[in-house]
Amino acid sequence: MKGIGDCLSHKKIQAAAAYLKNLVHHTPIRTSTTLDQSVGMNVYLKMENEQKTGAFKARGACFKIGCMNDEAAKRGVIAASAGNHAQGVALAAAKRGIQAKIFMPIHTPKPKVEATKSYGAAVELAGENFQEALFAAQKEQQQTGSTFIHPFDDVDVIAGQGTIAIEMLTDQPQLDTLIVPIGGGGLISGIAFAAKQMKPSIRIIGVQTEAACATYHTFHKHLLPSLTCKTIAEGIAVKEPGKVTMPLIQQYVDDVVTVSEHDIAASILQLLERHKTLAEGAGAAAFAALMRHHQSIHSKHCGIIISGGNFDLQKLSELHAHTMHLPANSMA
């Protein structure tokens, strides 16, 4: 019996790319000679923080809702999210003219809540973390018959996220490594699958924060410790790997590494101060992995996914607190 992951194909990701062409941005790739010199390789930053809604999630949500038939669309959609998937679903639902209700953890940053509402979606705050918000959303879905749009464990969502790899390897075919943040794994599953179809030799490295690193431990066959999931990278604060995404990660991803809260805070500040771009915690995770692990990343042309930029600017002072005890050259 085939698993749901077997339904993913390069043809589906190509179909997603064609469908999304006029719905989302083909985001730019940015380079920096100073950055290249500091890490000893050519680095290419994929600016998904400049995507519609400020994050890559619009891709998967738009393709998933676009795949729904008219009868299902009439019943609306429900989703659970720490923020960016919420905005993606809200945008996609608005474009199709259907109702959306989003369940978000109670500690979700206010800008993400307000942005989700601005697209016309109803928002309900429920639970201390993503898993509790997810449970509340699934319970309501069973009562209403609306279509549940999973943030990562869905083949159509994964295919939508995989369009990033098509763009990157079309724009920069010399890329030999991609570093991708991991929460539930939808982004890296789609990117890894698509990239390996286009260029089998490419190396895919996933990154998680030490506070929420269930996929890291599962990938390396460790016993899963108790995780707090309290992190400035709340967009990837997921307590357990996805059921669909984890097998894809095990098959197509070459390595998974972790970064600290200090690493992420320093990277947000470095991206803002040196590269003049705003990344949220999850969005800066891949950059943080580059800065922390570059000596062990054997790459000449390395792509970094800046996955989102929906950061609460009122928390900038907290970032400085995170980095107070870092060595001076960590921000270079």
Q: What percent of the chain has pLDDT over 70?
A: 95
Residue 6 scores a pLDDT above 60? no
- Residues tagged active-site: 57, 307
Exposed/middle/buried for residue 187 (C-beta within 10 Å: 0-12, 13-18, 19+): buried
Distance CA 319, CA 69 (A): 45
- What are the structure tokens assigned to 49, written together? 């923080």
Residue 41 scores a pLDDT above 70? yes
Task: Please choose, from the candidates 287, 282, 182, the residue with its C-alpha nearest in 3D space to the C-alpha of residue 233.
Answer: 282
Residue 320 scores a pLDDT above 80? no
Output 331 or 245, whichever has higher pLDDT.
Answer: 245
Q: Specify the pLDDT at position 110.
A: 81
Split at pLDDT 50, 70, 90, the class of 128 is: confident
Q: Specify the pLDDT at position 2.
A: 41
Q: What percent of the chain has pLDDT over 90?
A: 79
Q: How far is CA 97 from CA 75, 77, 83, 122, in A?
A: 11, 11, 21, 14
- What are the structure tokens assigned to 314, written together? 């009122």
Q: List, for residues 155-212, the tens digit of each pLDDT value.
A: 999 999 999 999 999 999 999 999 999 999 999 999 999 999 999 999 999 999 999 9
Task: Tell me the average pLDDT of the chain.
Answer: 91
Split at pLDDT 50, 70, 90, the class of 332 is: very low
C-alpha dihedral (2, 3, 6, 7), degrees to nearest 10: 100
Contact in structure between 103 and 255 (CB atoms under 8 Å):
no
Distance CA 83, CA 301 (A): 31
Pinpoint the residues of the chain covered by CATH 3.40.50.1100.
Answer: 4-55+154-324, 77-145
Mean pLDDT, residues 70-76: 93
Q: Which architecture does CATH list for 4-55+154-324? A: 3-Layer(aba) Sandwich (3.40)
Residue 11 scores a pLDDT above 80? yes
Contact in structure between 56 and 186 (CB atoms under 8 Å):
no
Contact in structure between 284 and 228 (CB atoms under 8 Å):
no
Residue 118 scores a pLDDT above 70? yes
Tokens 């509790």, residue?
132
Residue 329 scores a pLDDT above 80? no
Contact in structure between 215 and 182 (CB atoms under 8 Å):
yes
Side-chain-side CA neighbours of residue 154 (13 Å):
22
Instruction: Provide the whole-model pTM.
Output: 0.91
**77-145 CATH pick, 3.40.30.10, 3.40.50.2300, 1.10.1030.10, 3.40.50.1100:** 3.40.50.1100
Mean pLDDT, residues 111-126: 91
Residue 330 scores a pLDDT above 50? no
Residue 25 scores a pLDDT above 70? yes
Tokens 């639902």, residue?
93
